[in-house]
Amino acid sequence: MATLATTTEKKTHVNADEKPERKPQRARVDDKFKIFCGTANEPLCDEVCAFLGLTRGQALVTRFRDGEAYVQIQENVRGADVFVLQPTCHPVDQHLMELLLMIDALKRASARRITAVIPYFGYARQDRKDKPRVPISSKLVADLLTTAGADRALIVDLHAPQLQGFFNIPVDHLFASPVLVDYFKRLELADLTVVSPDAGGVERARFFREEDGSALAIVDKRRVEANVAEVMHVIGDVSGRTCLVIDDLIDTAGTLVEDRHRAHGKRRQCGVCLLLASGAFGPGGGKYFEVTNHGSDCDQYIPLSEAAKKEPKIRVLSIAGLIGRAIQSIHEETSVSKLFL
């Protein structure tokens, strides 16, 4: 499959209620400011470019018959500040290799600075040696990005914030929580309890709680093996309340299904709204919708599968404005943290 990234004139709808810092910018003429992308999520890249008033950089990404990737940058980038947007989602290895090849091609084309913009960082779950003779894959991927030629990284919602320490280049860690908080505030859900599906997601759930004053609950779970989790306890009061489950990754939806069964089994939960704070709906992601009538809201980190696109219970919230504003701040050498103040 070959993908030729071309210019786009697609207009982005502007919500009158949108915060000023997330509104699209006027079209700009800056031949030293360029954004490229691979094949992982081209629509998101187009939205980011429209937000910034830029046209997407032209690049050819194709494959030989044996599956070997081939990349060619089809415009001059000498001395330019270049951003490569590519989530390393399914198929993870294919999209990761595309990202590495694009960075290498840009480096060899004399780009002044290359920033890897990764809305979804694959291999983030393999961040430690939890068993004998296993790799620390997150560290390896970080080293690969640096060796390929990335000067800095812009990553959204890392599975664990401490993964930034694996990089030997500057990392800007964005949180999509402000986008989600704004959305759920408008829903005005009564008797809301924000639920973290595991101990690692407490910080994310606490942010929601502090923003809207809701209650907090934590699920104590044990991972039996890859893609298999067992819920042990629910810590916190969820009796008769609407629960907002915040998870950064849904692969098989096993954790969510177990969370729901545990809560309903104890007759402690009456209503459920599911929030997918960062998105990887894997092949088994539809399992949740087979056991509940409630919906899911997710951010636009990665493209939905064809099956997920047909699921009426899924609503996608765009983070193009958030990423676009962060890219603009990096290019202009201004603070990125102002996006969260």
Lookup: tokens for 254: 């096993």
d(CA 171, CA 315) in angstroms, rounded, equals 29
Torsion of CA 144, 150, 152, 156, to 10 degrees: -60
The CA–CA distances, whole Å, from 283 to 249, 288, 304 equal 13, 12, 11
| b/e 134-152 (16+ beta carbons within 10 angstroms → b) | eeeebbebbebbbebbbbb
* Active-site residue set: 221
The CA–CA distances, whole Å, from 199 to 121, 159, 187, 227, 294 equal 20, 12, 27, 17, 24
Bridge partners, 217 (sequence order): 195
Parallel, antiparallel or unpaired: strands 296-299 and 59-63? unpaired
Q: Is 121 exposed, middle or buried (0-12, 13-18, 19+ CB in 10 A)?
A: buried
Residue 21 identity: E
Mind giving me the DSSP string for 26-90? PP---TTEEEEE-SS-HHHHHHHHHHHT--PPPEEEEE-TTS-EEEEE-S--TT-EEEEE----S
